[in-house]
A and B are shown apart, each in its own frame.
Chain A
Amino acid sequence: MRIGIDVGGTNTDSVLIDGTQIVRKSKTTTTEDITNGVKNSLHAILPSEEKNLGVDAVMIGTTHFTNALLQKNGLATTAALRLCLPATQMLPPMVDWPKEMKESIKGYTYLVDGGFEFDGREISTIDKGQIRRAADDMANKGVEAISISGIFSSVDPTQEQIAAQIIQEETPHIKISMSHEIGRVGVLERENATILNACLSTTSDSVVGAFKKAVEELNLGSALFLTQNDGTLMDADFATKYPVYSISSGPTNSMRGAAFLTGIQNAIVADVGGTSTDVGILRNGFPRESSIAVEIGGIRTNFRMPDVLSIALGGGSVVNTSPITIGPESVGLQLTQQSLLFGGSIRTATDMAAAAGLVNIGNKTLLSEISEEDIKSSLNMMNVMTEDVIDRLKFNADDIPVILVGGGHFLIGDDLAGASEVLRPENGEIANAIGAAIAQVGGQSESVYSLAEISREEALSAATEEAKKRAISAGANPKTVMVVDVEEIPLTYLPSNAIRIRVKVVGDIPEIS
Chain B
Amino acid sequence: MWQVTEEDLLSISIGAGILGTGGGGNPYIGMLRARETIRQYGPVTVLSADDLQDTDKIVCVGGIGAPTVGIEKVRGKQSYDALVALENHLNVKATALISNEIGGSNSLEPLIPAAISGLPVVDADGMGRAFPEFQMKTFFVYGVPYAPMAIADEKGNVAIIPKAITSKWVERIARSITIQMGSVACYALAPMTATQVRDTAVKDSLTLSKKLGESVRNANKTKSDPINAMLKVNPGKVLYEGKISGLQRKTTQGFARGEVTVDGSGDFAGTVMTIEFQNENLIARIENEVVCVVPDLISIVDSERGEPITTELLRYGFRITVIGFPSPDLWTTKEGLQVVGPSCFGYEVDYTPLVLT
Cα A494 to Cα B245 with chains together (Å): 30
Question: A491 touches which one: B66, B245, B253, B313 (CB < 8 A)?
Answer: B66
- Chain B residues near A142 (CB-CB < 8 A): none
Question: A89 touches which one: B72, B76, B243 (CB < 8 A)?
Answer: B76
Cα A495 to Cα B77 with chains together (Å): 25
Tell me if A181 counts as interface (CB < 8 A to partner B).
Answer: no
Chain B residue with minimal CB distance to A292? B313
A117 in contact with B32 given A292-B313, A392-B318 (CB within 8 Å): no
Question: A492 touches which one: B68, B72, B74, B155 (CB < 8 A)?
Answer: B68
- Chain B residues near A95 (CB-CB < 8 A): 32, 36
Tell me if A91 counts as interface (CB < 8 A to partner B).
Answer: yes
Q: B-facing mask of A183-198, CB < 8 A → 1, else 0?
A: 0011110000000000
A88 near B246 with CB under 8 A, answer no
What is the CB-to-nearest-CB distance from A153 to chain B, in angstroms, rounded to a whole number?
A: 9
- Chain B residues near A186 (CB-CB < 8 A): 71-72
What total of A-B pairs shows CB separation below 8 Å? 115
A391 near B182 with CB under 8 A, answer no
- Chain B residues near A117 (CB-CB < 8 A): 73, 182-183
- Chain A residues near B68 (CB-CB < 8 A): 118, 185, 448, 491-492, 494, 498, 500
Which residues of B from 306 to 357 have beta carbons under 8 Å from A?
A: 313, 316-318
B76 near A90 with CB under 8 A, answer yes
Cα A121 to Cα B69 with chains together (Å): 14
B74 near A90 with CB under 8 A, answer yes
- Chain B residues near A393 (CB-CB < 8 A): 317
Cα A495 to Cα B313 with chains together (Å): 22
Cα A187 to Cα B77 with chains together (Å): 17
Tell me if A460 counts as interface (CB < 8 A to partner B).
Answer: no
Question: A91 touches which one: B33, B251, B256, B317 (CB < 8 A)?
Answer: B33
Which residues of B from 218 to 277 have beta carbons under 8 Å from A?
A: 243, 245-246, 251, 253-256, 263
Tell me if B75 counts as interface (CB < 8 A to partner A).
Answer: yes
What is the CB-to-nearest-CB distance from A230 to chain B, in angstroms, rounded to a whole number?
A: 20
A96 near B32 with CB under 8 A, answer yes
Question: A90 touches which one: B66, B75, B179, B253 (CB < 8 A)?
Answer: B75
Cα A115 to Cα B318 with chains together (Å): 38
What is the CB-to-nearest-CB distance from B130 to chain A, in angstroms, rounded to a whole number?
A: 13
- Chain A residues near B36 (CB-CB < 8 A): 90-91, 95
Cα A96 to Cα B6 with chains together (Å): 13
- Chain A residues near B156 (CB-CB < 8 A): 86
A394 near B183 with CB under 8 A, answer no
Footprint of B on A, CB under 8 Å? 86-91, 95-96, 115, 117-119, 121, 123-124, 151-152, 185-188, 292, 391-397, 448, 490-496, 498, 500
Can you give 14 A-B contacts (C-beta < 8 A)?
Answer: A91-B36, A91-B74, A96-B32, A117-B73, A117-B182, A119-B182, A123-B155, A123-B182, A396-B316, A491-B66, A492-B66, A493-B66, A495-B253, A498-B66
Given A391-B317, A492-B68, 8 further pairs, Cβ under 8 A: A91-B36, A91-B74, A397-B246, A492-B256, A493-B254, A493-B255, A494-B179, A495-B254
Closest 10 CB pairs of A and B: A490-B251, A117-B182, A90-B76, A493-B66, A87-B154, A186-B71, A392-B317, A491-B68, A494-B66, A397-B245
